[in-house]
Amino acid sequence: MVTRTSEDKNCKTTLICTPVALLRQWYNEIRTKTSPSLNVYIHHTSARGKKLRTSKELLQYDVVLTTYNTLAHEWKVLDKLLAEDPDTTDRPPSLFLDTTWYRIILDEAQVIKNRSTQTAKAAHMLKSTYRWSLSGTPMQNGVEEMYSQLAFLRIRPYSNWKSFHETFVIGLKKASKQSAAMKKFQALLKAILLRRTKMSKIDGVEIIKGLPGKTIEMVHAVFDEEQQAFYQALETGAKIQLRKYQAAGTLGRNFGNALVMLLRLRQACLHPRIIKEVKKAGSIELTMDQQVTLAKEFSEQTVTRIKELTTFECPICFETVLNPTLVLPCGHHVISFSVVLTLVLY
């Protein structure tokens, strides 16, 4: 943004889209790490106060910061207008989607991994001369998630879903085509990915100097008699519940519950007070009335955060889950709690 600026004064702005939590960090980093400081503007749907309303106003800034929720909201409004009248030419312009930017940066770009979401569709519509997609995990569940990045980056021919699906999604599943598809996929990634490692250099200078080598020290928890009894009671309850799942053939559906039991055992190694009730640790089966009562304990902020989620993912393997279990009081999720989730949110 500093060394490769636009020569066109009317198209000089970099748009950075980021999760809400990182907006202020981006702003502070740009303001403090550039000299002279770049002119930065934050536009977020939940913000209050003065708002810039035209593209011309936005393009006066060097950098515009916004969020994925803002883009999704703009796409939703635009899609509704086009659904009502596909041939309309009188619709109001979309502040972000109809503007031509010089550079677009998607931070934590795995947010658009699902090509069917409003956020991904909005990102694919953005117009610019240059595009950057920043992510430590461009793929989490399957190769099809890479398509959304290619569609945003406009990397042809694989920015077309049909071409990408036939070449990679189907190709990697068929034994006869798997080897060739994998070589193509590796060649594609090698051409478009820039990796940062400990040995990476900028202008010939290593980005990290004097980093000590990694050392691993195994420390085993030694319990006293009371702690050992507490842990064994917790472990026994968890084993009993797991055997019930196995006997009923429902272990797969209750994988999230099993992970919660393991979490409780890890917590017990830290301090017994983290776990309030030993008798319930082995079983988290609750009646509907009990679930509703617990669900009502969520704060308004927690409910708002949950409602903003477009999908629920397992925190261990990042698989998308349909029935999330919500943890009190934070509202973070694991698996299965769908009915109560509906009651709380709607």
Neighbours of 183 (CB within 10 A): 10
Report the predicted TM-score, pTM, of the whole model to 2 decimal places.
0.62
Longest dimension (CA), the chain: 77
**Token digits for 271?**
């301090």
By three-state DSSP, how is residue 110 classified? helix
Q: How far is CA 164 from CA 60, 74, 124, 132, 151, in A?
A: 38, 27, 15, 20, 10
Q: How far is CA 275 from CA 261, 266, 298, in A?
A: 11, 10, 19
Could you tell me if 92 and 55 are in contact, meaning their C-beta atoms sit under 8 angstroms apart?
no
Q: How far is CA 197 from CA 108, 136, 166, in A?
A: 18, 12, 33
pLDDT band at 98 (very low <50, low <70, confident <90, very high): confident
Predicted local confidence at residue 339, as pLDDT: 35
Predicted local confidence at residue 330, as pLDDT: 66
Domain ranges of the chain: 14-206, 225-345
Which residues are CB-neighbours of 190 under 8 A, at least 6 positions away? none
Q: State pLDDT tens for residues 126-179.
A: 999 999 999 988 888 788 899 999 999 999 999 999 999 999 988 888 888 888
d(CA 162, CA 1): 34
- Percent of the chain at pLDDT > 70 equals 81
Predicted local confidence at residue 90, as pLDDT: 72
Q: How far is CA 98 from CA 6, 55, 165, 286, 301, in A?
A: 19, 8, 28, 50, 33
Query: At residue 50, does pLDDT exceed 90?
Result: no
Q: Return the closest-CA partner of residue 93 out of 42, 129, 57.
A: 57
Mean pLDDT over 213-238 rounds to 88
Predicted local confidence at residue 328, as pLDDT: 67
Q: State pLDDT tens for residues 258-312.
A: 888 888 888 888 887 887 644 443 345 566 777 777 777 777 777 777 766 655 6
Phi, psi of 290, deg, nearest 5: -65, -40
Indicate the burial class of 179 (C-beta count within 10 angstroms; 0-12, 13-18, 19 or more). Answer: exposed
Indicate the burial class of 67 (C-beta count within 10 angstroms; 0-12, 13-18, 19 or more). Answer: buried
Superfamily of structural domain 14-206: Tandem AAA-ATPase domain (3.40.50.10810)
Q: State pLDDT tens for residues 182-215.
A: 999 999 999 999 888 878 888 888 888 877 888 9
107-141 burial, b at 16+ Cβ within 10 Å, e below that, comes to bbbbbbbbbebbbbbbbbbbebeebbbebeebbee
